[in-house]
Structures are given as C-alpha cells and as structure tokens.
Homo-oligomer: A and B are copies of this chain.
Amino acid sequence: MALHSINELQKHFENALGLVEFSDRPTELYDPVDYILKLKGKRARPVCTLASCEMFGGNYKAAINQAIAVEIFHNFTLVHDDIMDQAPLRRGKETVHKKWDTNTGILSGDAMMILAYQYLQKASNDKIQSLLSSFNRTAIKVCEGQQWDMNFETSTNVSMDDYLSMIKQKTAVLLGEALRLGAIMANADEESQHLIYDFGKDFGIAFQIQDDILDLYGDPEKFGKSPGGDILAGKKSYLYVKAMERAPKMLKEELNQTYYSADLKAPQKIEKVKSIFDELDIKSRAKAEMNRYYLSAGIALNTIEIPENQKLVLKEFAEGLMVREI
C-alpha cells in the first residue's frame, strides 16, 4: 500500500482537529484554545507523528489522537511562552494574552496541557505506559529549554554548548517526540523508536540553526520579513554566540557594544554586526554546523531497519524544510 503524502496527512490532520470540540463552557476558558489551534501553522509536529506511524507500517489513523496531543501541547507552550516573552503577535495574529488577557492565557494554557494528556492516553493499555514515559520526559525538557532561553536573556556568557543545549530542549526534542509517538502507535521496536527520535531531534537543531541564519541572510522577498530581526531584538542567536566564541577580546567588545547599542539606527546596527560576522566567517560556519546536524539526522534515519521506500515521505518532508540557497 502506498503511504500517504505529507499534503494528504496535513489535510487529514486538519480534518481531525476540526472535529474536536473545544468550545465547551466556560467559554472564557475554551475560546482561546479554539482560537490558537485554528491559527493554522505548518502542523509539522502532528504530521510527523502521522508520517512516522505510516513509515513503521501503521495507518495514520492509529496515531491521530497522539498527533492531536502533540499539536495541543505545542500550542500550550506557544501561549505561555508568548506571555513570558510579551509577544504581541503569533502567526500574524494577536497572541492570546493580547486578545484576551494574561490570566486567560495562563489558564487556557493550563487547560490545553490537560487536553493534550487526554488525547495522548487514547490508546490501548499496553501502549500507555510507553507513550506517557516518552511524552513526559520530553515535555519537562521543553520547560527546561524555555527556562534556559529566559536565562540567556540576562546572561552575558552564553557558550555554544549552552546555546545548542537550549535549542535542543526548547524546540528539537518535541519534533523527535512527535515522531516517536507515531512509532510507538505503529508498534515499532525500541531501537527504531530511539532512532526516529534522534532523527527528529537532530533535524530540529539543524532547522533552528537555519532559522537563525535566514533571519539575517534570508531573501526578504521569499521570507516576507526584513533581515536582522534577531540583531535588533538583541537575541543571542547561533550567529551571535558563534561570533562571541570566535572573536578576539577587542572584537568581542566591539560586537557587544554594537549589538546592544541604544544609539545606533537599525540599518547601521545590522550592517556593522554583519561586517563583524563576515570578518569571523560566521555564516559559513553556521552552515557547516547546520549541515552536520542535518547529516546526523539522515544517518539516524538510514540506520532504521525498514525498507527504504517507506522512508521517502519523511525524507522528502525534511528536505523540503531545508532551504538550498543560503
């Protein structure tokens, strides 16, 4: 039987999520849940759950509840992170705490976490222990990652190890987890569960580094935003952390003065930081690191002992998310 394509899985997922009724009483609690879940994103995580389930020989329907769980959990983290980061917009729309208020954001987020567990547990008795252990381990890492990210904002000394560990926990492990849940639902063996998790985790890190590269070097027409947002926000991105690692003392000071200058105008600041990055050859080093993680993800996927043609859907999905022209 041919596996479903990513597009098909995306459609099936949207349909399934559309059937979920979140609009129970009190509406003040459930309207925000409905709102954030309907701000359609790529649905990368739940689609990974479904694709992983099919790759290991299951039908996507067997993992649909776990896919919903992953998407609700992910959206719970968005709602709470947006409060902590005081972000006004999410996917171009008002964030929950802006559209309603902070209390609503906190409580709706809490409810979403419980809803995620309600969907996660929709499985036979022999799978629940495995689903829960796996999910809980990842969920707590996601919280830890968010804490590291917040710590970095006020820290003057973020090492590359710290940075990689943060993005791994904050974003990459949930992608790995999404895939692992699909594997569990398809009765994949433990070794395969482990490998598909590693694939997702390493791919997630590669994707995050790419994100940091694109923020400065991406084609504005293609990505719909002007470059250098991370610099203007003073974000300790991969590029910044790498530059701080490589720069000699004097240049390090210059970089920091520029990066956190309150006087420089936006275009000048971006230009100056970029020239320091260029001097240190940061872009190509970031690309090299991104490629290392991408390669490592590929190795994990290759090592899984199932027919290669069953891996094609996920492989193409991953390839499609990586941008060639940077």
Number of copies: 2
- If A118-B136, A136-B118 touch, whether A151 touches B28 (CB-CB below 8 Å) is yes
Determine the residue in chain B with the shortest Cβ distance to A86: B103
Per-residue CB contact flags for chain A residues 77-89 toward chain B (1 = under 8 Å, else 0) read: 0001001100000
**Distance in Å: Cβ of A167 to nearest Cβ of chain B:** 15
Residues of B within 8 A of A25 (CB): 144
CB of A157 closer than 8 Å to a CB of B: no
Which of A9-17, A127-135, A211-219, A237-245 has 4 or more CB atoms under 8 Å from chain B?
A127-135
Contact B125 A111 (CB under 8 A): no
Closest-CB distance, A265 to chain B (whole angstroms)? 31
In the bound complex, residues from chain B placing their C-beta under 8 Å from that of A317 are none
* A152 shortest CB reach to chain B, Å: 11
A106 CB to closest chain B CB (Å) equals 6
Nearest CB to that of A112 among chain B residues? B143
Query: Closest 8 CB pairs between A and B?
Result: A29-B147, A84-B103, A111-B143, A121-B132, A26-B147, A114-B139, A128-B128, A118-B136
Query: Could you pull out 27 A-B pairs where Cβ atoms are within 8 angstroms?
Result: A25-B144, A26-B148, A26-B151, A28-B147, A28-B150, A28-B151, A29-B143, A80-B110, A84-B103, A84-B106, A106-B106, A107-B143, A109-B110, A110-B113, A111-B140, A111-B144, A113-B113, A114-B139, A114-B140, A117-B132, A121-B128, A121-B132, A121-B136, A125-B125, A125-B126, A125-B129, A128-B129
